[in-house]
A and B are shown apart, each in its own frame.
Chain A
Amino acid sequence: MVRISNWPLYIDDRTIPEFQQATGITVQYHEDINDNNEFFAKIAEPLRRGQSIDRDVIVLTDWVAGRMIRLGYATPLDVAAFPNRVNLAPLAQDADFDPGRRFTVPWLFGMVGLGYNPRVTGREITSVGDLFDPAFKGRVTMVTEMRDTLGLVMLGEGRDPMKCTVDDIRAAAARVKQARESGQVRAFTGNDYTEDLANGNIAIAIAWSGDIQGLHADNPDLRWVAPREGAMLFSDNMLIPKTSDRVALAMRWIDWCYAPAHSAQIVSRAGYISAVQGAIPALERIAPALARSPLVNPPPAVLSQLRNFRALSDAEDSEFTRIFLDAIGG
């Protein structure tokens, strides 16, 4: 049996049964990751003591995956047991938190931009600056992920999150804090902004691309846009915790997810960007409309504008987090 932790609504309902049937390996799939910090806080102590966390594959966002690697909590991927690794898309070949992708491969990529409903805003949204437009006072949300909110605000100010210094962070945080204190920003949220966006409580949200894709079926008016100043790119990555005693089974699962047809199936439900070469043609066969969505298959013009947040040392991470928490009110 292979035990997996992933984020909610991040897989279709065919991939697991098909894997079980084809390999005879039972999958225990937990949708128990809701927040990187909280999940990390839960697993860090047992991993430090070398105890099992009862998981063989976990899916973490780039920067926490990087922290896991630095702390020695991840097992290197067994390339010999991973023939589908050749399908790794160019975008996914390398990562500054995991040079050469020795420990991780992306589950999916996603973009951080702006979600809005033109019927509520009364106009198209094109710029990060629109978050601070007084016309939307009290009807803006930002996310509690420091890198996503400050990354996007920095892009809006022409600062590069790939090279940001503590001064850039301070400036962006000051802007966020001012917007919070003036009542411009109504809430700092996790995934729960989607409800408020759908029912019109809020006009503009810092939004994850796949969330808006997922809302489309019921709310065709909602839009997601990469602001003209650029959008943030993140990856959620599969890795094997060092205390897993089922590495071979975990590799079978990872390899299975890297077949283009399987990745297409996953994308068909999750609505994010596949890291597997050939997934888009495969998606065209099962969900042609989705395969053309710029949220799942971003055009080169958008791709070239995407920025990562640079990898931070632990000291920087805690300093930046402290500045950010102060800005968002606690």
Chain B
Amino acid sequence: MPSAGSGRRAALAPALLVLPGVLWLAAFFVLPLLTLARTSVAAPWWDGYARAFTGYGTIFARSFGYAALATVAALLLAYPLAYVLAFRAGRWRPLLLGLVILPFFTTFLVRTFAWKTILNDGGLVVRVLQALHLLPPDGRLLDTAWAVIGGLTYNFLPFMILPIYTSLEKIDRRLVEAAQDLFSSPVRAFRLVVLPLSLPGVLAGSLLTFIPAAGDFVNAELLGGPNQRMIGSVIQAQFLQARDYPLAAALSFGLMAVITVGVVAAARLLREEQLA
């Protein structure tokens, strides 16, 4: 029965296709995660979690606050840029897209170090802001919350631009033309047609920015001071300096739990938005 045979093969094909990815994730994601889970409940099992949830409220709040502000800032910068890329860039589009990706040619760490130089107390940026009285004469940018949020925004901006661009670019132009044919003003056409259709890109970009930003420690370490430390730095210090593995592991799971809840809520929100 050749038809049944090919049917079985056809059914097997997707399984075979996902197998390498699944095995990879099992070995390098699930196994380490299970080890981390075991570490977090080293005797007595609740101790790490109890300490993680009682002593680090401020740091969690600060991490999510900085990540949220960076996400909003990145969104405000990225959306107009992605819009121009998708609808107005014309023959400049490949070049502009290249420029968006260009920062990835040097590492994250080197670029953040460069920001340290740019925001230096005696540097041009600080002196200009002081001359404009936006900063007090003895004010500074480095080692402040502004520098950390700015660094996060900068570092994750491409992750916001690209998904929004992709979703904008896929929009059928005839829908916009149809709106205009029905006497929609450009603003109204944008609000009723373009914006809703680009929401999946906005959500994807926001998640790709918010999640790594909340767990990031490079920006807080390099651009922030001791009162700007984020949960990533604390986990790193607890693992490597205090060697308090249960606490560090519990903090990691706390971070993951909060992010998971946030992601599920955001996804649900978007679905309702689209059904409405």
Q: Check B142–A181 contact: CB distance below 8 A.
A: no
Q: From A35, A199, A200, A329, give the contact of B229 (CB < 8 A).
A: A329
State in angstroms the CA–CA spacing of A325 and B234 once bound together: 9
Residues in chain B near residue A201, CB distance under 8 A: 120-122, 140, 142
Contact size range, B: 20 to 34
| Distance in angstroms between the alpha carbons of A157 and B138 in the assembled complex | 30
Chain B residues numbered 171-226 whose CB sits less than 8 Å from any CB in chain A: 225-226
A200 touches B225 (CB 8 A): no
Tell me the dominant secondary structure on chain A's binding face.
Answer: mixed
Among A35, A328, A330, the most chain B Cβ lie within 10 Å of the Cβ of A330
A78 CB to closest chain B CB, in angstroms? 32
C-alpha spacing A1/B71, complex, angstroms: 52
CB neighbours (8 Å) of A200 from chain B are 121-122
Residue in B121, B142, B229 whose beta carbon sits within 8 Å of that of A330 in the complex: B229
Assess whether A330 is in contact with B243, with CB atoms less than 8 Å apart.
no
B241 contacts A by Cβ under 8 Å: yes
A132 at the interface (CB under 8 A from B): no
For residues 120 through 139 of chain A, which have their beta carbon under 8 Å from a beta carbon of chain B? 138
Q: Does A10 contact B (CB under 8 A)?
A: no
**Complex contact B226–A180 (CB within 8 A):** yes
Query: A41–B243 contact, CB under 8 A?
Result: yes
Q: List the A side residues contacting B121 at CB < 8 Å.
A: 199-201
A residues less than 8 Å from B238 (CB atoms): 325, 330
B237 and A318 within 8 A (CB):
no
> When A199-B120, A201-B121 are in contact, do A329 and B240 touch as well, CB less than 8 Å?
no
Identify whether the interface residues of B are mostly helix, strand, loop, or mixed: loop
Distance in Å: Cβ of B109 to nearest Cβ of chain A: 13
Known contacts A325-B242, A330-B59, A330-B233: A187-B226 contact under CB 8 Å:
yes
Interface residue B115 (Cβ < 8 Å from any Cβ of A): no
Among A41, A138, A328, contact of B240 (Cβ-Cβ < 8 Å)? A41
- The closest CB in chain B to the CB of A176 belongs to B226
A35–B221 Cα distance when bound, in Å, is 15
- Indicate if A185 sits at the interface (CB-CB under 8 A): yes
Could you count the A-B residue pairs with CB atoms below 8 Å apart for me: how many are there? 58
- List residues of chain A with CB within 8 A of the CB of B138: 138
User: Do residues B242 and A199 form an inter-chain contact, with CB atoms below 8 A?
Assistant: no
Shortest A87–chain B CB gap in Å is 35
The complex places the Cα of A186 from the Cα of B234 at a distance, in Å, of 18
Q: Are B244 and A322 in contact (CB under 8 A)?
A: yes
In the assembled complex, A7 has its CB within 8 A of some CB on chain B? no
For chain A residues 166-217, which have a beta carbon within 8 Å of chain B? 180-181, 183, 185-188, 199-201
Most interface-central of B229, B241, B243, B244 (chain A CB within 10 A): B241
Within B218-258, the residues touching A (CB, 8 Å) are: 225-227, 229, 233-234, 237-244
Cβ B227 vs Cβ A187 within 8 A: no
A321 at the interface (CB under 8 A from B): yes
Question: A38 within 8 Å of B by Cβ?
Answer: yes
A37 and B242 alpha carbons, distance in the complex (Å) = 8
In the complex, what distance in Å separates the CA atom of A180 from the CA atom of B140?
16
Q: Select A180's contact among B142, B227, B239, beta carbons within 8 Å.
A: B227
Determine the chain B residues whose CB is within 8 A of the CB of A199 once the complex forms: 120-122
- Asked if residues B227 and A321 are in contact (CB atoms below 8 Å), the reply is no
Flag whether A144 is at the interface (Cβ < 8 A): yes
**Cβ contact within 8 Å between A181 and B227:** yes
Whether B226 lies near A329 (C-beta < 8 A) is yes
The docked-state distance in angstroms from the alpha carbon of A301 to that of B121 is 37
> Closest approach, in angstroms, between the C-beta of B147 and any C-beta of chain A?
12
Q: Verify A38–B240 contact, CB threshold 8 A.
A: yes
- Residue of B at shortest CB range from A41? B240
Specify which of A41, A187, A325 is in contact with B225 (CB 8 Å cutoff).
A187
Which chain A residue has the least Cβ–Cβ distance from B239?
A41
A contact residues around B234 at 8 Å (CB): 330
Contact with B along A293-330 (1 / 0, CB 8 A): 00000000000000000000000001001100100111
Q: Which residues from chain A contact B243 at a C-beta distance below 8 Å?
A: 37, 41, 318, 321
The complex places the Cα of A41 from the Cα of B240 at a distance, in Å, of 6
User: Across the interface, which residues of A come within 8 angstroms of B227, CB to CB?
Assistant: 180-181, 183, 329
CB <8 Å contact, B241 and A37 = yes
The CA of A111 and the CA of B238, in the complex, are separated in Å by 27
Which of B237, B238, B240, B242 counts the most chain A CB atoms within 10 A?
A: B242
The residues in A between 92 and 148 inclusive whose CB is less than 8 angstroms from any CB of B are 138, 144
| Chain A residues positioned under 8 Å from B226 (CB to CB) | 180, 185-188, 328-330
Residue of A nearest to B139 (CB): A138
A sample of 8 inter-chain contacts (CB < 8 A) reads A37-B243, A41-B240, A138-B143, A187-B226, A318-B243, A321-B243, A325-B238, A330-B226
